[in-house]
Structure 1
Amino acid sequence: MSTPEIRRFGHTFKEHTLTVPWDYDNPEGGTFELFAREIIPPGGQDYPVIVYLQGGPGFPAPRPYGTNGEFGGVLGAAAKKYRWILLDQRGTGRSHRIDGASPEEDRSVERLRLLRQDNIVRDAEALREHLGIKRWTLFGQSFGGFCITAYVSLAPESVEHAYLTGGLPTLDKPVDELYRATYRKLLARQNRFYAEIPWARARVEEIIHHLDNSEELLPTGERLSSRRFRTIGIELGQGTGFDSLAYLLEDPFHPHGGEKRLRTDFLAGVGQRVSFADGPLYAAIHESIYGGVGGAGATNWSAQRVREEFPEFAEDGTYLTGEHIYSWQFEEDPALRPFAQGAQDLAQYHWQASPYDAAVLADAPATAAAAVYLDDIYVPFEESMATAATYRDLRLHVTNKYQHNGIGVDGAGIFTELQLLVDDH
């Protein structure tokens, strides 16, 4: 079903919904409504289509709000040549959002295991066929690039071009090896942070000691533990991360009733960073996107197990942790508690196969271009380069100008660079 067209920001907006099965191998096992928003630029009714595959996992497609927002970045740059399809991936946005208020069935391992990138591809293929489009182009940031790599593996003839930013996944490293690489990257990045902001190390250690010996409550009412505080290190992977963390840490304490206490604005800032209320699905399914890769079966809380190999990040360490999910977060974060059993069962789920096929990638007709960030702490550079070499035709834009969130800094510039690579036949 498609809705009537409306005009916003000089563009034509259309909405598409399509009933698709949760399990393509068992179509009788229930369905949901897949949602996608189409954006047609002025005069672009006959432009080719480009599909936006969001990063995450567990987040919906962007909601454009004006020419100074997304249309000033990737969306605006691509709209000079393409009409967009912004796809809400299954379990997000208007494609049957799953959160703590969802029915228990939605939070079970039987449902969560169906949210991986291979099924996102199958949803997109169902939408492509429904819209009568023979081939289309893909854009994917971070996890969106993982989805593209799965897409080219599963349906290579459906992809005209592919643009990936910070999202070339490992094809052959089991999840434990992948997380070892991310901890090594994070260690180097954090040491650089401490070199540039010399006082930050002592401040982090002071806060950790305080939280281990005093009760401090977040605005949502729960006690803040030192291990949960340490997860703010995910911000080190963003271009402004050093400064945003430095401003957060610069003056966290004040005297209260003769005691040293954390300031309420500091606790609010930490609370915003460590809560998964906006996207609990991200935490619930995060490790599953590596399931089956490199022969790995169950992920078994890989990030939690592997961090004990690194004293700086171990349970009794003092370094901030990054894009890693731990089992205890499902006890401490109110937004994640409803997912505790499902996440535990998913961590033990035995994946039978990888969502990627190197042999198909090596022969796929699509021309692709990828922005690879040299210092990326989320998607290791070395693994990205190895995967890039597997694609039949993938052109690289390698840079250390940006961190993982490069498209948030200069999305138009990065997309333009990639488009030039693709157009340079």
Structure 2
Amino acid sequence: MRRTLDLFTLTWTAVTLVFPCNAETFPPPTRLSYKWIDPFTVNVTWTWQKPHGLPSKCKILFEIQLEKTRRQLPNSFFTVRCLSEGLQSTQCTYNIRAISNESCGGWDGSISVPITIDKPATGDIGVKDFECLLDSAGVNCSWITADQSVSSVLSYSICGVSDEPVKDVKMCDQPYSSGMRNGCYMLYVHQNSQSRYLNLCILMNTTLGWTTFKPEFVISSPKLSITQEGDYLYLNWIPPNFQSSCTWRYKFCFEECSVPKGCENTIIEVGEPNVTRVPYNDRCLYRFNSSVSTTKYCPHLTSTLSEVVTYGTNKPPDATMVVTAIVIPLILSVCFILSCYCFRRHSAIFCPIIPDPSAIFKEMMMNGNKDLKTTAAGSLYTPVPEKFESCNITVVKENTVLLQNS
């Protein structure tokens, strides 16, 4: 590492001598080295060669680029916690360069020089799926060992924001084992120490080795309640009892009539009601689950996925439209067919044959009234002759007894 940095410094000096610029540039730091103070903290040192021609009032500072912040130091050393997220981290990398204040004239800051710090872990320690659940009473950290014969012991410290060496590393006072998972429960020292535990540093020792890291925290998913107003369902969450000044991002996924509708995110600012809404179909069963996480301006916290919350019921499709679209036209069609059949069968009643008047007048003109009965034979009405009885009349003489006609 030192030979590489020295070679880099010589190359940079040669380039600046061969290709001079209008503005002078500081040389970079050289001979960077580090030393572990404790399992969490490392001390980094370097040297810097002051160039000729600097103004007497020029003040040199060293800028350290950390993972998320920058720090300016007047000295050529600093102490830092080499911690990252999760168990798999094996090294830390920082960038260091020399800069100046306004009293240095036309001198520019140097290029950044990286230093990589190898963590003192001893390879794979046989631990996986490490998580820390934060609640109102304490922190519950648990993990799985790949081999049940491997024993593991957790130690911890509240590292805080300072980079001073860690002095109070404590062993877990409430260890437990549940199935495949081993764990450690850490009670809060006092009531308002939730924020302090977000700076927890973990030292994990197993029979295979040891490592240090900064854990990720999860919280229980906030309770979701659902109410209906008109054509909408209103989703309401009880905000977490952590980081009350933070903005929370709520994520919910849902199904409508057993059809997944995807997931949506809603960000709720501090002081605003924790409510959002979705369109509602009263013939469907809705299934919701949700989670919550902080935004980038707050310590990273995320929740587990909540249990499924249901609302409504699945109802069969409405048959009214089926009857309207199919049954009624079918009945009308049958009625129309029957009407046509009856009209055709009794057409003589509905449409009688009317005699042609021209034929009647033509016969009257040709034959006269005497032949009127025969002119239109078969066309005019002829009355049926009536039946009558004949009677016999007999002349009788006087003094003759009348005989009754039998």
* TM-score between both structures, scaled by the size of structure 1: 0.20
Structure with the higher fraction of residues in strand conformation: 2
Structure with the higher fraction of residues in helix conformation: 1
* TM-score between both structures, scaled by the size of structure 2: 0.21
